[in-house]
A = this chain, B = another copy of it.
Amino acid sequence: MSTQASEISKNTLRVRRLGIDTYSKPVIYMRHDCHICKSEGFEALSRVAVSTDKETIIASLNIVNNNLLNPGEIGLSDAAWRMLTPEENQAVYLSHPDPVSSHRHVRSKVYGHSLSDHQLMQIMQDIVKGHYDDIYLSAFITACAGSRLNFDEIISLTKSMINVGRQLSWGSEIVVDKHCIGGLPGNRTTMIIVPIVTSFGLVMPKTSSRAITSPAGTADTMEMLAPVNLSVEELHKVIEKEGGCIIWGGSVYLSPADDILITVERQLDIDSEGQLIASVLSKKVAAGSTHVLIDIPVGPTAKVRSLNLANELANLMITVGEEIGLNVRTKITDGSQPIGRGIGPALEAHDVLAVLRNDPGAPEDLRERSLELAGDILEISGKVPEGKGYTEAMKVLDSGVALEKFRSICEAQGEIREPGRAKYSRDVCAKLAGIVSDIDNRRLALTAKLAGAPIAPTAGIYLHVKLGSVVSRDQPLFTIYAEAPGELDYALDYISAQEDIITINPDG
């Protein structure tokens, strides 16, 4: 007993918030002459368990060789502070973290063995507890990428992701949802579909993602018009009042394991089929959905590049859906070019508003795509007979009912905002006359990212042409917007070193 008490006081330091922002990574700082480093054998980058009486976190150690810290003190980065939530100067106890037992399942997967339900569950639990560092997250993602998850593993991964998060319920027999398999810049149909279908009394608590590898996610775009970081309590109030919402999924902690995996996937620029399915469907089940429409755009530079792959993915989605009790319908759509004109949060928000307002200049393709998908959802929900969805949806949009509904939803989420305009811009013009024959979605998206999107919300690209547009020499093809001159230059430098991102056929 007394040994234990002295052991604890020996391994105790007082915390100080150092005001160092290490993003989501908890980092702790200890003096090089700290007795605990010596007695425990801690060195720079050691993983250390830091405990208060309420909470334990595992953090990475940086060693300080100056007077940043006083003897007896330990420094915490902002992320470590947020996770541990100590009082300033509180005593914390340091120890070696237990070995992460699910790491051996990851190794087993790396060596090509398949993982059981139970093993995937343990991995997801440890990930949510913050026990996986970047190296292990990357190994897990890589080991599962490129079709290395079999059918059973995809189901288990989906179920595990659901289990480690929370699950919402709405007291409604039918709860609809939609998801688009990314890769298509500017495709913000969600923000038009939700007001349409909820105008019919359907419940559609839509949680969207922020950008992963793209210049904007639906949550980033919606945030230009209304708050999207809602708590579950706030979300419930919005749904009670409006039947629908468009919020950020991360803020309601629906798939916390996926939220962590996604930050690493983004850096690797890797999407695995199995993880994609688990990510999408786990969030739908967690959100309490019963009927889900999956939009799969196909095109040479979209995420899904061939009809075969799209069909394969569609079948997997439907079958995994059946296994987890979710009614999934898929729709394979044209992914050969961006939807709408804007790429980047604010620029896309302007497009959405134009469609809802029935502006004469509103992008026709965004309107059409939204009506088709909204029609499908109306049909699978049973609200509207098969074949009648599109026209019913159009009535609600054209009459302005959808716009009114969108405004109500924004207000229920907190307020309606006006999307801004970027300060710096530059036109990129046609080098020759002809017909636009090809648009490279990926490089266009990369250019928007280099210009600052989505972190700089008004940055991005505004397209002046579509496939088939007739252009004259020196006519602007698109405009790059940026919030800082450095970022504008960065995007322009990239473009100048590239083959044409928009191809013009002079014989057209």
Contacts and interface: CB of A to CB of B under 8 A. Distances in A.
A17 to B, nearest CB: 9
8 contacts: A21-B32, A40-B490, A107-B270, A111-B146, A133-B134, A134-B134, A136-B267, A142-B143
A139 B268 contact: yes
Contacts of A25: 45
A18 interface: yes
Stoichiometry, copies per complex: 2
A40 B110 contact: no
Given A110-B142, A110-B270, A135-B267, 20 more contacts: A18-B68, A20-B63, A20-B65, A20-B68, A21-B44, A21-B63, A22-B62, A23-B44, A23-B45, A25-B45, A38-B484, A41-B455, A68-B68, A96-B490, A110-B145, A112-B146, A134-B135, A134-B138, A136-B138, A139-B268
A374 to B, nearest CB: 35
Interface residues of A, number: 59
A66 interface: yes
A232 to B, nearest CB: 27
Nearest to A490: B96
Interface in A305-323: none
Given A29-B20, A110-B145, A268-B107, A41 B138 contact: no
Interface in A1-35: 11, 18-23, 25, 27, 29, 32
A38 B484 CA distance: 7
B19 A45 contact: no
Contacts of A487: 39-41
A277 B495 CA distance: 42
A86 interface: no
Contacts of A485: 39
Contact of A270 (B68, B139, B270, B490): B139
A19 B29 CA distance: 11
Interface of A: 11, 18-23, 25, 27, 29, 32, 38-41, 43-45, 62-66, 68, 77-78, 96, 103, 107, 110-112, 133-139, 141-143, 145-147, 264, 267-270, 452, 455-456, 483-487, 490
A40 B452 CA distance: 9
Contacts of A32: 21
Contact of A455 (B20, B43, B147): B43
A143 to B, nearest CB: 5
A-B pairs with lowest CB-CB distance, top 8: A19-B66, A138-B138, A19-B65, A21-B63, A142-B142, A23-B44, A111-B146, A23-B45
Contacts of A41: 452, 455-456, 483-484, 486-487
Q: Taking each of A143, A487, A490, which has the highest tally of chain B beta carbons within 10 Å of its own beta carbon?
A: A143
Nearest to A27: B62
A222 to B, nearest CB: 21
